[in-house]
Amino acid sequence: MKRKFILTGVVLLIVSLACTSSSTGMTPTAVSEGSQTITTAQSYSETSPPTDSLSINDSEQSPQELLNQISEKSKGVLLDVTYCTVDGVELKMDVYFPIKQSGKSPLVIYIHGGGWKSGDKHSLQGYIDVPTLLDAGFAIAFLNYRLAPDHLFPSMLEDVKCAVRSFRANADKYSIDPDKIGAWGWSAGAHLSSMLALTDASEGFDVGEYGDESSRIQAVVLLASPADMSIDFSPIFIEARDIAFVDYDLKKASPITYITPDDPPFLILQGDEDPVVTPDQGQIFYESLITSGVEAELIVIENGDHSFLRPNQSPIRKELTTMIVDFFVKHLK
């Protein structure tokens, strides 16, 4: 089902600004739980603000307010856990645990953007959704992965797949349900999230540790995802692609290449004024999924750019969070 939202009319503000928050240098308080060390969310909120290139405008919460909310709603967080090691590189993640937890929690994994060549797990775009996801009872993981140009595609896809296999192998330790894992991502992270959802071991991307486990996920949300990597749809995209996908077959890097009827449900969010991942990409993705019999929904954001944070966009970012969480509740709870 495709839905298109109509602009209600507010003054346009430009909001893609550099995040100004930085670490305070305070030392987190840690508590021991079995073989794991869980840093209390209270101390985490004081020490680890988002570091990506987005800033929430004045009509939304500040990064610090978001982290304060996370501290109130999270039982705790595992910081800088090594989920896999590749050629001596330790791949790190943070894992948040919900207060409202009865039995094993469903898990959702956030994959950051940055053109496959920048960014890290401290992503404001993902943090925005965390308080509501915690309220809904989800465990949440934020991943680092190897970046170009030092590591070319498919290295980053191999990493996020290893993360899913790691969670399945350690489901009891993390108290998560291995049959209820979803992912959401923004931009390059949305591309990796979609490839995570659409490919299995037969495509050759499942390499490294925990080889007996599956990397398939059960639901995926995409914010501004490329669908066909062979299309030159924007200068910014072309520049990033040409750094990260050197000499790689772009059709084999394209999510739509791997769509089959047994794929998990998709929620696709696409700004109608996105200059980086242009609106045709969301439409191509949606139509390819529907044609193949995959459950999919496309939400076109009126006045939406690549940041999803314009104050006059419709729906606004807070409403998108509700849609994301409702989608995961429907398919993972």
Q: Is the peptide bond before 149 cis (omega within 30 degrees of 0)?
A: yes
3-state SS assignment for residue 319: helix
Q: What percent of the chain has pLDDT over 70?
A: 82
In Å, how far are 15, 57, 172, 273 from 308, measured between CA atoms? 9, 11, 36, 10
Amino acid at 216: R
Q: What residue ranges define each of the domains in the chain, with the CATH number in brackets?
A: 2-332 (3.40.50.1820)
Q: Go through the chain and tell me how many residues it has.
A: 333
Give the closest residue to 301 by CA, choosing from 286, 321, 316: 316
CA–CA distance, 193 with 216 (Å, rounded to integer): 10
How much is the pTM? 0.85
Q: Quickly list DSSP for 37-91.
A: EEEPHHHHHHH----SS----TTS--HHHHHHHHHHHEEEEEEEEEEEEETTEEE
206-223 pLDDT tens trace: 999 999 999 999 999 999
Pairing of strands 219-223, 176-186: parallel
E strands, the chain, in order: 2-4, 30-33, 36-39, 74-86, 89-98, 105-111, 139-143, 176-186, 219-223, 266-271, 296-301
Work out the pLDDT band at 60, boundaries 50, 70, 90.
Answer: low
CA–CA distance, 263 with 265 (Å, rounded to integer): 7
Q: Is the pLDDT of residue 328 over 50?
A: yes
- What is the predicted pLDDT for the residue at 63? 76
In Å, how far are 156, 215, 253 from 201, measured between CA atoms? 16, 8, 15
Strand partners, 91: 84
239-297 pLDDT tens trace: 999 999 999 999 999 999 999 999 999 999 999 999 999 999 999 999 999 999 999 99
Give the closest residue to 254 by CA, choosing from 245, 263, 266: 245
Q: Quickly list DSSP for 192-223.
A: HHHHHHH--GGGT---SS-TTS----SEEEEE
* Helix-helix angle 188-198:155-169, to 10 degrees: 60
CA–CA distance, 187 with 71 (Å, rounded to integer): 27
Overall average pLDDT of the 115-125 stretch? 93
Q: Is the pLDDT of residue 198 over 60?
A: yes
Pairing of strands 2-4, 296-301: parallel
- What is the predicted pLDDT for the residue at 74? 93
Work out the pLDDT band at 67, boundaries 50, 70, 90.
Answer: confident
- Please, what is the average pLDDT of the chain? 85
2-48 pLDDT tens trace: 443 322 222 222 122 222 232 322 223 333 333 344 444 333 333 34
Overall average pLDDT of the 103-121 stretch? 97
Residue 186 backbone phi and psi in degrees, to 5: -120, 130
CA dihedral 62, 332, 196, 305 (to 10 degrees): -40
- What is the predicted pLDDT for the residue at 34? 33
